[in-house]
Copies of this chain bind each other. A is one copy, B any other.
């Protein structure tokens, strides 16, 4: 009895004040790449600063630098309280019109948020120190921070270590992995992916795309910040890069949910240095651009894969759930419905409990705010579970009528870590006229006891 109780309790408690030995859980090892294909002309490093005094040896300063000037674009948090690095990077991108960016410098351990004018100066100084080391003009670097809110950065320590960060820049797989680690807070594993691609205008030329992200881990008194950096050696003009990133982020980083909270620091940036040569990708003016469309699809797909790693590492997550809303009259309404399901505590706890509770899913569909009239018509709505093993779909609700559910099969499907929920809106009013409709996808995780433990800063 005592042993089983102890085991149960142990299963619920995660070492959440950062994995001190940086050991990666066995179940997450499969997400760590052992090699990669990195874009030409980029070098990176992860350096120990000790932003948090308790961190005496792990890298917490990431530097991502290009040998040549880059086009750059970024998507920032919509939170009204924007951290200093967000304000500073935004201004840098605007004043440079997305041209001539050379580096991104990121610290973990302190968010530099709600830190007033002093915090703004700190963020500016971080960037300028990098510019100085690179021997380039001021305001060539973007700055990001993640960690504790309401505390000033230990700025001298950071400035002191930036020359080291610069002098250790390298292009090896190990360097990329160390850099991806340096931006983590309580993430249980570094999140790094890379791939090669071609563009229609020069099918024989190989381009590379690499990206890192960090997500949903937090240390008292902090909040989850999502940061992401993508680098490519394709040549892309800034306006095209910005619109491609916006499209991709909407369908990836902004289509995932751990707990629905949006932090003060969230930033996803992309740098394109053109080191692989070829034509410059431009935004389509009058005529469509094949390269633009191709690159948009590639970046979107890449960003989805990268952002899904954040969900895989959601705090306390035991499930990875895809919700696909089909046949919505418009994409935004579909996304809004998917987002509402992904944020519902009742849906999330039912999934944790492996409970095929379609009533809660339906309920969340029904209370979605801000969708056009006629989008949700009960008599046209269907809900199914799509098993990840490719076996037959389990229908729960068909055109508003509940199915007789095989509870055993439902339970078996819910034993898996992965699950896909499909909500078919039947096309809304347009669909009835045979117009088909848009699909929207969201990825989310469940709410577990561990989530509460981690975020309640539960002191045992």
Chain A residues in contact with chain B, CB under 8 A? 1-2, 5-6, 8-9, 77-81, 113-114, 116, 149-150, 218, 220-224, 259-264, 343-346, 349-350, 352-353, 355-360, 362-368, 370, 376, 378, 381, 397, 400-402, 447-449, 451-453, 455-460
Contact = CB atoms under 8 A, between A and B. Distances in A.
A12 to B, nearest CB: 8
B346 A223 contact: yes
Given A350-B456, A355-B457, A452-B452, 6 more contacts: A2-B2, A220-B357, A223-B360, A259-B346, A447-B456, A449-B453
Given A264-B363, A364-B261, A355 B449 contact: no
Contact of A366 (B80, B360, B368, B456): B80
Contacts of A79: 363, 366-367
Judged by DSSP, the binding face of A is: loop
Given A363-B262, A401-B116, A456 B353 contact: yes
B402 A353 contact: no
A26 to B, nearest CB: 24
Contacts of A360: 221, 223, 261
Given A2-B1, A359-B114, A400-B114, A345 B458 contact: no
A275 to B, nearest CB: 37
Contacts of A357: 220-221, 457
Contacts of A353: 455-459
A455 B346 contact: yes
A261 B345 contact: yes
Contacts of A2: 1-2, 5-6
Contacts of A223: 346, 359-360, 363
Given A149-B359, A150-B402, A455-B353, A261 B367 contact: yes
Given A80-B378, A376-B80, A400-B116, A261 B456 contact: no
Contacts of A260: 343-345
A345 B345 contact: yes
Nearest to A8: B9
B5 A362 contact: no
B452 A81 contact: no
